[in-house]
Copies of this chain bind each other. A is one copy, B any other.
Amino acid sequence: MSDVANKILLIVLDGASDRPVGGKTPLSEAGMRNLDKLAYGGINGIMDTVGPGIRPGSDTSHLAILGYDPHTYYTGRGPFEAAGVGIDVKGGDIAFRVNFATVENGLVTDRRAGRISDTDELAKAINEKVKVPGVDIIFKRSTGHRAALVLRGKGLSAAITDTDPKKEGNPIKECHATDDTPEAKRTADIVNSISKQVVSLLDDMPVNQERRKQGLPPGNAILIRGAGEVPHIPQFQERYGLKGAVVAAAGLIIGIGKMCGLEYLPVGSMEIESSGSQAAAKMKKAIQALETYDFVLLNIKGADEAGHDGNFEKKTQFLGQADESFKDLLTLKDVLIIVTVDHSTPVSIKDHSADPVPILMHGPGVRMDDVAHYNELIAYKGGLHRIKGMDVMPIALDLINKTKKYGA
């Protein structure tokens, strides 16, 4: 092993940390044999990914860990959801979250169209056939009744209201500008035009005829909300001088990676991994990528899913299986390995929490500490103490000798 690492592998065990139940957590119980070896040979600590007591989403936390202050670059859920469903959003785009809904006689009768999920054809029709002069309209389905809408072009603004009436029995709301600019007025007009076109386009489509036959509410309208301007994010290579890639299954993480200029490296199935073998395939991909890239972000999502399910055993089992794939890291050379978590997802609350996450750094030149296990209950004893998500990239860049000197 040389004295200095020249590459960074940043592994995010999405939602892996927890609150103790009877003094135990999935990470403390999973038997993370390989990860424990990395902890033993590295430096450890706890981290507030955004800040103490701030309960982050995966989007805001990943931005922070990648060194992009979410208070600057996080412009609302629309842009990140659009990126998350695979739309290649660009800085300046106006992006929205969308629900498929049911409209009968001009009134919204179901805001989720009976939680419709067969929306492939509907989304395709909107994407291809809804037109407004002077603006590109990009529409893509997400999970269930959800979808994302992106407007691209000049003279647009996110200063507009939602069309969601919030309560059934009301018509779709007119979209209005919330400031006096012609851009906002124009964008509101575009949204209203899209709303109207969609109803006449979808109402008679085969999938909706079929749903009516089955007594299901048709997905014949869309509710548009959460307008946000896609941030102009400085690209990774320019910001850090590193050629970077992202290996992930979750659309949101892939989207954020792409927005930051990381190249997305797909791994077989796009499913969220629920087994160790899927995690292993990703790990293999990430390690391979280090031959070509200076920086690889690997997101492993399975533990977060189990946390949202409130399933301690499933979370523990997944982590134990995922640990197998960490074995290959033990022989890596010249790589700074960082293993952290984007936010805790305690099984007791089935959602994200602000409890600090564990972080370890392992590689040439790292000051080893006394911590010999990787979990949120003892990481606080390590040499990194308590850092912030925004500290990760500066510390990592310094450890691979890529920081500029401040002063003389």
- Chain A: residues with CB nearer than 8 A to chain B? 3-4, 19-21, 23, 46, 50-61, 70, 74, 77, 80-81, 252, 346, 348-349, 351-355, 365-369, 376-377, 380, 382-388, 391, 393-398, 401, 403-408
Given contacts A349-B4, A380-B385, A55 and B20 within 8 Å (CB-CB): no
A381 → B minimal CB distance (Å): 8
User: Is there an interface contact between B408 and A77, defined as CB atoms closer than 8 Å?
Assistant: yes
The answer to whether A403 touches B54 (Cβ under 8 A) is yes
Contact A348 B380 (CB under 8 A): no
A75 to chain B, nearest CB (A): 11
A54 touches B394 (CB 8 A): yes
The CA-CA distance from A349 to B377 in the complex, in Å, is 34
B398 with A53: CB separation less than 8 A: yes
Please judge, given known A-B contacts A349-B401, A396-B53, A405-B351, whether A367 and B4 are in contact too, CB under 8 Å.
Answer: no
**Among candidates B81, B365, B397, residue contacting A346 with C-beta atoms closer than 8 Å:** B365
Query: How many Å from the CB of A111 to the closest CB on chain B?
Result: 19
Instruction: Give A407 to B354 CA distance when docked, in angstroms.
Output: 12
Determine the distance from Cα of A341 to Cα of B387 in the docked complex, in whole angstroms. Answer: 21
Given A355-B398, A380-B385, A391-B53, do A367 and B406 touch, yes or no (CB 8 Å)?
no
A406 to B54 Cα, complex, angstroms:
7
Q: Specify which chain B residues have a CB less than 8 angstroms from the CB of A349 in the assembled complex.
A: 3-4, 401
Cα A351 to Cα B404 in complex, Å, equals 11
18 A-B residue pairs with CB within 8 Å:
A4-B348, A20-B367, A23-B368, A53-B391, A55-B406, A56-B406, A56-B407, A58-B408, A60-B407, A61-B407, A70-B406, A74-B407, A77-B407, A346-B365, A368-B377, A380-B383, A384-B386, A386-B386
